[in-house]
Amino acid sequence: MALLAAGCSSAPAPEGAANAAAVAPAPAPAVTGSPAEWRSAVCRDDVDVDSGTRHTVTGNTCVPKDGDGVVNFDHFESEPSMDSVLSWQPSTHVAETVVDGKPLAIWTPSGEASDLEPLKNFGFTVASYQAAGFARTTSDAPAVLPVGDVEVLPPNQYGYVVVQTAAGDTQCIVEATFIGCETDGTNWQQHVDGSGPYHGVRINTDGTGSWVDGNLGAAAPTTLADKTYRALGWTIVSTPAGMRFTNDKTGHGAVVGVQSVRPF
């Protein structure tokens, strides 16, 4: 089984693959200013610290104006490289543009969207990160959360929950800020290089997400029965199409099965 890298607090950051859903990059936002001006607007000081982010041409980090958290300025090798890194961050707010033909992401590995607010003065859009080519559907609208008997699944020793379909062909980890799934099927989106389908996907709390490659690990899953479950702020229901994950706060999520992934 081609597996999907899971980002959990007790494990190293997933290496994944630098080829998450590779599609033609979207046109860069019409922004003004220079990298130095953007940094001056966001950062509390001008100390240049290497961000250590993988798959970058250059990368540095700073403390934002409010002194809480950090902001990264990462110039990635390519759009797929950026996807492979940012799609697995637990809570990523990002402003994107293109510099010298390569994507630049100004993002918050720890911090708040408000840290990036000054960038709006330069024409940037600040939003949750979403990989190119992955979009929510309107046909699978957010559902009303079920009432009645609900089985609560406690997190494992690593702080997350693992579930799988009755057939065992699709597994997902449940974290408070995202769902990460893998399948042994071949029906999910194809790599554009012809190397076959993706076997992994990440779904964020707002229904955005990314196709990814990697490995979920070997944590024992709970096989879902015909009932409702709740875990770490998500409601989970087994359906004929797969496992339906609904974030309790946003009402968004996805139906994930061996045949398809339908974010909503």
Q: Quick one: pLDDT at residue 117?
A: 92
Q: Quote the CA–CA distance of 107 and 62 in Å, as a whole number.
A: 11
Do 243 and 172 touch, CB atoms closer than 8 A? Answer: yes
The mean pLDDT value for 73-90 works out to 78
- Return the minimum-mean-pLDDT range out of 83-97, 100-114, 189-203: 83-97
How are beta strands 222-223 and 228-231 bridged, if at all?
unpaired
Q: Quick one: pLDDT at residue 141?
A: 52
Q: Quick one: pLDDT at residue 190?
A: 80
What global pTM score does this model have? 0.58
The dihedrals phi and psi of 45, each to the nearest 5 degrees, come to -145, 180
Q: Quote the CA–CA distance of 145 and 110 in Å, as a whole number.
A: 30
Q: Is the pLDDT of residue 15 over 80?
A: no
- C-alpha distances (whole Å) from 200 to each of 16, 131, 137, 176 are 10, 13, 19, 18
Average pLDDT, the chain: 80
Q: Quick one: pLDDT at residue 14?
A: 35
Share of the chain above pLDDT 90, in %: 45
Mention every residue, 6+ apart, whose C-beta is less than 8 A from residue 25.
79, 98, 103, 132
**How many Cβ atoms are within 10 Å of 193's Cβ, its own excluded?**
9
State the DSSP H helix or E strand holding residue 41, giving kind and residue range, or none if neither: helix 35-42
Q: Which is more confident, 23 or 263?
A: 263
Task: Express each pLDDT in 101-130 by its tens digit.
Answer: 999 999 988 768 889 999 999 999 887 766
Nearest to 7 by CA among 110, 94, 66, 87: 87
Q: Quick one: pLDDT at residue 149?
A: 80
- Return the minimum-mean-pLDDT range out of 35-49, 65-79, 117-131: 117-131
Q: Quote the CA–CA distance of 107 and 140 in Å, as a whole number.
A: 30
Q: Quick one: pLDDT at residue 116?
A: 93
Task: Express each pLDDT in 123-167 by its tens digit.
Answer: 998 877 666 556 666 555 555 555 568 999 999 999 999 999 999
Q: Render 44-113 in DSSP notation, one character per residue.
A: SS---EE---TTEEEEEEE-BTTSSSEEEEEEES-HHHHHHHHTT-SS-EEEEEEETTEEEEEEEEES-G
Amino acid at 134: F
Task: Express each pLDDT in 203-258 by its tens digit.
Answer: 888 888 888 876 777 788 999 998 999 999 999 999 888 999 999 999 999 999 99
- Return the minimum-mean-pLDDT range out of 72-76, 115-119, 195-199: 195-199
Mention every residue, 6+ apart, whose C-beta is less than 8 A from residue 199.
1, 2, 3, 4, 182, 183, 184, 185, 188, 213
Q: Quote the CA–CA distance of 19 and 201 in Å, as a whole number.
A: 13
122: three-class secondary structure by DSSP: helix
Nearest to 161 by CA among 229, 254, 250: 229
